[in-house]
Amino acid sequence: MIVEKMTDLIGNTPMMRIPDHVTGLKNISLYAKLEMMNPFGSVKDRTVWGMIRDDLDRISAGGMTIYENSSGNTAKSLAAIASSHGLKFKLVSALKKVREQKEILQILGADIEEIVNASNCFDPSDPNDPQYLIEKTVRDNPGKAYFPSQFTNEKNPAYHEETTAQEILNDLSSVHFFFGGLGTTGSSLGIANRFRKDNPSFKAIGVTAQTGHFIPGIRNMAQMMESTMFQKDYYDRIYPLSEVDALEGMMRLSRECAILCGPSSGANFIAAIRHLREIDASITEPCNAVFIVCDRLEWYISYVQERMPEIFGHKELESPLYKFDSSQIDIVPSVKSIDLEDWMAQNQRALIVDTRVPQSFDLFHIPGSMNMPEEIFEKWIVTDNPVSKDTPVMFVCAIGERSRHFAAYLSQRGYKAYNLEGGIMSWVDLGMAA
């Protein structure tokens, strides 16, 4: 087969039936839609192509720069397509990225701007929010900045309804259950729209990350507010999963099915197995279920190394952070910013650890606090004795979400850990940074 350009290879991905001995199902057939086999390695190849294909000539003729807010795969697809058409691409993002994803973007020549003060939860009133900053750039530079806006662009779900869903129906005729990780929600929304037209009893199941857990490509419920396409009631059930769940699913698909996929695909698989096993015995007629294999394993080697070093011949972590149960997060005591000064006076030996990036820390920080960026902090916190158990430790992040998770983890291990409620932004809002 000869093609003229790589975008000719987007779509028409195969499906694989997951063997019964892997699923443990008797009445439901589970299929994996292998979106990892798109040319740039992910389901986002379709999303990007559906959004920008009709505008490429206009972008090129106007010498426009393409902007996007992305944590990985969408940016990678945009960078590849832009580069091959001689176009400029700039990524503006706040969310944490996996090292390999960022390195690929650098190889492709993308201009990367990471917003150091933005929170991981969308806030349209936040002047540091990437979505807001890009929209402002477009307004201030008419005809020079092009913003596909994957979180708001109706072409995102429409293209998945037109292509991804139709390809699945061409293979299966009918689908009863669909499982998709929720990021922009474009793929799951578009695919489910198409399936519902043919099958009124169809069920759509969404997959999210538990609060405090980082599953690349999948957001937690608080972060879902960034996507105007997200409709909670649209899903018959939503599974919040942990990093442990995602890695378990990824390893099973890789080792038992030879599907070399990333952690978001693993999360989709685990959600499917858990849900379908609950109802399998009650199914009286054969049913089809489908989940998306979002992307490839190669992008996530460092992610796996940090969490499962034993696979690579290193010492297994005794109390790894990624295995911490978020349901126990309420065990951590929190201190409000307005009470912080009194708390510090009562705990003069306390250690205050700020996990934001150095640029944010330099802009403003609590006097006497130490800066330990999250990438370093996560390696320190899981060591045998990160700090004396007699020393009170206050954890600080941007909005108090990740720091609460860290503090709860150490509290469970018997340390005197505290969280600054509302994060450094609550402290700033009180005028303490002036």
CATH code of the region 44-146: 3.40.50.1100
Over residues 292-337, the pLDDT tens digits come to 999 999 999 999 998 999 999 998 877 788 888 767 667 788 999 9
Number of Cβ within 10 Å of residue 257's Cβ equals 17
Say what the pLDDT of residue 126 is. Answer: 58
Say what the pLDDT of residue 114 is. Answer: 78
Polymer length of the chain: 434
Burial group, residue 360, by CB count within 10 angstroms (0-12, 13-18, 19+): buried
Classify domain 324-429 by CATH architecture. Answer: 3-Layer(aba) Sandwich (3.40)
What percent of the chain is predicted at pLDDT more than 90? 65
Of 31-35, 108-112, 242-246, 330-334, least confident by mean pLDDT is: 330-334
Of 133-137, 251-255, 299-303, least confident by mean pLDDT is: 133-137
Q: What is the average per-residue pLDDT within 219-243?
A: 85
Please indicate whether residue 233 or residue 30 has the higher confidence score (pLDDT). Answer: 30
For the chain, where do the domains classified as CATH 3.40.50.1100 start and end? 6-39+154-305, 44-146
Say what the pLDDT of residue 212 is. Answer: 79
Q: What is the average per-residue pLDDT within 284-296?
A: 95
Say what the pLDDT of residue 277 is. Answer: 97
pLDDT band at residue 127, thresholds of 50, 70 and 90?
A: low
Please indicate whether residue 52 or residue 228 has the higher confidence score (pLDDT). Answer: 52
Of 36-45, 130-139, 269-278, 349-358, least confident by mean pLDDT is: 130-139
Structure tokens at 305: 């190394």
Say what the pLDDT of residue 382 is. Answer: 83
In DSSP terms, which residues pair with 65 in a beta bridge? 88, 145
Of 126-130, 145-149, 360-364, least confident by mean pLDDT is: 126-130
Say what the pLDDT of residue 333 is. Answer: 87
Say what the pLDDT of residue 356 is. Answer: 85
CB-hemisphere CA count at 13 Å for 155? 15
Residue 362 has pLDDT above 60, yes or no: yes
For the chain, where do the domains classified as CATH 3.40.250.10 start and end? 324-429
Q: What is the average per-residue pLDDT within 270-275?
A: 98
Say what the pLDDT of residue 226 is. Answer: 64
pLDDT band at residue 124, thresholds of 50, 70 and 90?
A: very low
Over residues 147-200, the pLDDT tens digits come to 999 989 999 999 999 999 999 999 998 999 999 999 888 899 999 999 999 898
What percent of the chain is predicted at pLDDT more than 70? 95
Say what the pLDDT of residue 109 is. Answer: 92
Spatial neighbors of 98 by CB under 8 A, at least 6 apart, are 72, 216, 299, 300, 302, 303
Please indicate whether residue 369 or residue 119 has the higher confidence score (pLDDT). Answer: 369
pLDDT band at residue 119, thresholds of 50, 70 and 90?
A: low
Say what the pLDDT of residue 256 is. Answer: 98
CB-hemisphere CA count at 13 Å for 88? 11
Tell me the residue type at 376.
I
Residue 412 has pLDDT above 90, yes or no: no
**How high does pLDDT run on average in the chain?**
90
Of 111-115, 191-195, 233-237, least confident by mean pLDDT is: 111-115
Say what the pLDDT of residue 396 is. Answer: 94
Structure tokens at 7: 């975008």
Burial group, residue 29, by CB count within 10 angstroms (0-12, 13-18, 19+): middle
Classify domain 6-39+154-305 by CATH architecture. Answer: 3-Layer(aba) Sandwich (3.40)
End-to-end CA distance of the chain: 64
Residue 420 has pLDDT above 60, yes or no: yes
Residue 121 has pLDDT above 60, yes or no: no
Q: Which candidate, 412, 429, 313, places its Cα nearest to that of 420?
A: 429
Q: What is the average per-residue pLDDT within 391-416?
A: 90
Say what the pLDDT of residue 43 is. Answer: 97
Structure tokens at 321: 């952070």
Over residues 68-109, the pLDDT tens digits come to 988 789 999 999 999 999 999 999 887 667 889 889 999 999
Spatial neighbors of 331 by CB under 8 A, at least 6 apart, are 408, 411, 412
